[in-house]
Structure 1
Amino acid sequence: MRRLPNMGGGVCLLRYAPSMSLPPALTELVTYFEPLSTVRRDFRGAVTLHTPGVNVLALNATYLPDAAPDRLPLVLAWHHAQEMPALVAGTVPLPGQAVGTLRVGTYHPVLGSGAIVVEQVSRLSLPAWAAVLAEAHGTPEWAAPLARHLAARLEADPVWTLLIAYAGGEAVGALLWRAEAAGGGAAHLWGTLDPVADAPLLNAAHELGGNLRASLPDTSPLSVADEVNVFFHLLDQLEKPEQPT
């Protein structure tokens, strides 16, 4: 999550068959985040997820199969037409301003702090869950919009599970686990107020399915197996393509 301009607009539902041209790590992120998004757009092998009113990076990015320069100006123009930052994600070096990196891979449980207790909570706890997640990413003002957005998408979908980590009765972490059809699960949306809670939170997610695919921010002290770096960059300083007259 990152501070992004408030992107208003009505709900538009566009769904396409999953792109087979993206690297596996990007396909994995798209599979996880698309059900939480508002719009999906496929263009020249790239996949864009657009979610107005929510500041989660992965829900407002174009996932690129490569850094082909002929595609980037067109991606930039589309983002600007939607009045959204031109945020792109890839597994190869990208132009523009770096805003974050995720390490995607398989998480194996490690010894965690016994002072952290992790609980599975109901959908009724979504506002509290969102408040912890938003604060963990330094954007507490986005908690209410995030909770409202996710409420409709999680309500009737049993594959999602909410986890909250507590230290001394105080919430210090939040994670959204998704059950995978082939078994195991995924945790690509989570955050903690204290890195000490990282391991207990992910350990609890692992216990839900036995195998866990996860994304770690570049600041996390933990590691994942078969790690692939996913880079998020802003293209907004690139020169816009000329519009036909």
Structure 2
Amino acid sequence: MKIAVLGGTGLIGSQVVKILQATGHEAVPLSPSTGVDLLTGQGLSDALTGADVVVNLTNSPTFDDASPAFFQTTMDTLLAAADRAGVGHAVVLSIVGVDQVPDLAYYRAKTLQEDILKAGPIPYSIVRATQFFEFVDAILSWTADENTVRLPATPVQPMAAADVAQAVAEVSMGAPLQGVRNVAGPDVFALDELGRITLAARGDQRTVTTDNSAGMFAAVAGDVLIASDDAVIAPTAYREWLGRQG
């Protein structure tokens, strides 16, 4: 199959392309650097010519109130072009529990992206993943100073980007789900505990203070970011992954 991967040069997309190519598919990475701009539609029609599947891994440049407009525009552009090109399957990467966090603008925007896909003309699949191991440092930095990292005790079930890419690739090679596949890491942590594990593994002497008003994830109530019973559990554990980071 020919599989067009928008955002195909990024953290997840570049790995998806490699997996698909290794299994014999014609995986084409698409991004502004390859001449395809999903916001404007530049280069998109030509890029989708002959494609059986399109995978959308592009992301809003901000997490604020501007993000819904990004997803509205890019999804409208993508679905129109995919429909014209006769693409038979559209795949989007989203977030576990995304529709249960209305207080976060970015999560509302990702829910909008899902809704546009569901209402569109292309058979679809949605892969919802938990937070990536690779983003833990960024999460810690949001509420950190030279001595302290403040984090809420929000339950999370993070997973490796490589496992996310594998899940996306597998769905892309299959029949449209007309629904959602949830994927998650093998372990559940309170976010403040995850911070302590991370700092200890790196010899970082800062203290993690539990603050349930700190950072973006303070807006998350209960365990909505934890995978449901039907989720596919990825193999890579966080402590194992940390140990490989050197």
TM-based fold match above 0.5? no
Q: TM-score, normalised by structure 1?
A: 0.29
Q: Name the structure where helix makes up a greater proportion of residues.
A: 2
RCO comparison, higher one (Cα < 8 Å, 6+) = 1
Instruction: Name whichever structure is richer in strand by fraction.
Output: 1
